[in-house]
Amino acid sequence: MVDVVTRILIHRPRADVADFAGDPDNASQWYVNIHSSRREDSGPLTVGSKIAFIASFLGRNLSYTYEVVELIPGEKLVMRTSQGPFPMQTAYQWTDADSGTLMSLRNTGQPSGFSRLTGPVMALMMGRAMRKDLQKLKGLLEAPQP
């Protein structure tokens, strides 16, 4: 089992952070390894919504589809995929902090096959990438607004 959690304080109101980070259309702006995302349905994001992503990780191109399995607007978003050798769950959580929003990003998964053997190394690499993602998100959201 791989379970990696990262957190960052973003000096913006929780609603702003949750609205931006929780919008799949913005994923490629703040995720270092995500090249594109595309909603597979229309309307507001709800439980059951599906989002197709194209990304790269450890030198491999990946295509996968997440399904929203839990959504509490402004507080929590959980997405899951069961595809490929490394089914994943990604959870975002936003809480008020003294001077902004504490955002938590958690990825969990149960690797199988060859991925099972490389799980500990994969967890380290995921943690590094996730910290970069949150730093990029912080930079975008804390940049002076025109």
Q: Kindly report the pTM of this predicted structure.
A: 0.90
* Cα gap 23→14, rounded to integer Å: 14
Average pLDDT value for the chain: 90
Q: In this model, does residue 141 exceed pLDDT 90?
A: yes
d(CA 17, CA 23): 10
Please state, in angstroms and rounded to a whole number, the distance separating the CA atoms of residues 111 and 3: 11
Number of domains forming the structure of the chain = 1
- List the CATH number of the domain containing 136: 3.30.530.20
**Cα separation of 106 and 131, whole Å?**
11
pLDDT range class, residue 113, cuts 50, 70, 90: low
Its domain, for residue 120, covers: 2-142
Under the banding of pLDDT at 50, 70 and 90, the label for residue 114 is: very low
